[in-house]
Structure 1
Amino acid sequence: MNITITEKAAEALKQKMKTPSSYIKLHYDTEGCGCSVDGVPVLWLVDSKNQEDEVVETNKYPILVEKSKKLFFDDCLTLDWNPNGTFQLKSANEILNGWMTLVDKTGRD
């Protein structure tokens, strides 16, 4: 899996990260979707990685992805920034989520 982060997205991530020890996680959220194969990619800011997480190196920041959820993503992805203040995850084939926010799951204010 390869994720390219655009310059604008990298700057937005940098501003939102609270500490250098925080991780960015690409999570496949199935809550409320009715089925475990129906879901929406979302970005989380987390304090640590767990056993299920794999570190995906990018051109800017490493991103955590759950190993069991990688099958829902194309091999090559781009994380971009929209002028409306949200992130966009896309591949050459589709836009996976055009309105992603970075959800803080660190428990810090």
Structure 2
Amino acid sequence: MEIIITEAATKKINARTDGREGYLKLKYDTDGCGCAVNGIVALWFVPELDDNDISIETNDRTVYLEKSKIIFFDEQMKIDFSEVTNCFQLISPQQMLNGHMSLIIKKKID
């Protein structure tokens, strides 16, 4: 799997996560979607990784995905940021996986 992070996305990610420790994760989020195959890809910044997360090296930083959800992603993807919509986007050569992603900062639960 190949993930490219554009310069625009890198700048926005860095601005939102400056001074925080954590990991960038593409999360296939099924909360409120009905079932496991009805989900949406979300961009999360998490303080800790889960045991089933796998790492994908990118041109900028390591991105993590849940191993069990890798089937919902394409082989080549790009994380971009649109100034027009003020949102992150996950794009592949085949499709727009999510054109309106927010970067969700997850806090550590003690």
* TM-score of the pair, normalised by structure 2: 0.92
Q: How many aligned positions are there?
A: 108
For 1:76, the aligned partner's letter is Q
Specify the code of the residue in structure 1 equivalent to 2:62. Answer: P
C-alpha distance in 2, partners of 1:33/1:50?
22
| Offset of residue 107 of structure 1 | 4.4
Listed one character per residue, the Cα deviations across residues 5-27 of structure 1 (whole Å, up to 9, x for unaligned) are 00100111111114363111100
SS at match of 1:15: helix
- Which moves more between the two structures, 99-108 or 60-69? 99-108
Alignment match, 1:29: 29
Instruction: Look up the match of 1:78.
Output: 78
Question: For 2:14, what is the secondary structure of its paired residue?
Answer: helix
Tell me: CA distance 1:69–1:56, structure 2 relative to 1, closer, same or farther (3 Å): same
TM-superposed CA distance for 1:31, in Å, is 1.0
- Listed as ranges, the gaps of 5+ residues in structure 2 are none
Q: CA RMSD in A?
A: 1.5
The equivalent residue for 2:103 is 102
Report the AA paired with residue 72 of structure 1: F
Does the CA-based 8 Å contact 2:48-2:108 persist in structure 1? no
DSSP-derived class of the 1:97 partner: strand
Deviates more, 1:97-106 or 1:14-23: 14-23
Taking a change above 3 Å as real, the CA distance of residues 62 and 20 of structure 1, as seen in their structure-2 partners, is: farther
What is residue 59 of structure 1 aligned with on the other side? 59
Percent sequence identity over aligned pairs: 40
3-state SS, counterpart of residue 68 of structure 1? helix
Distance 1:78 1:20 in 2: 23
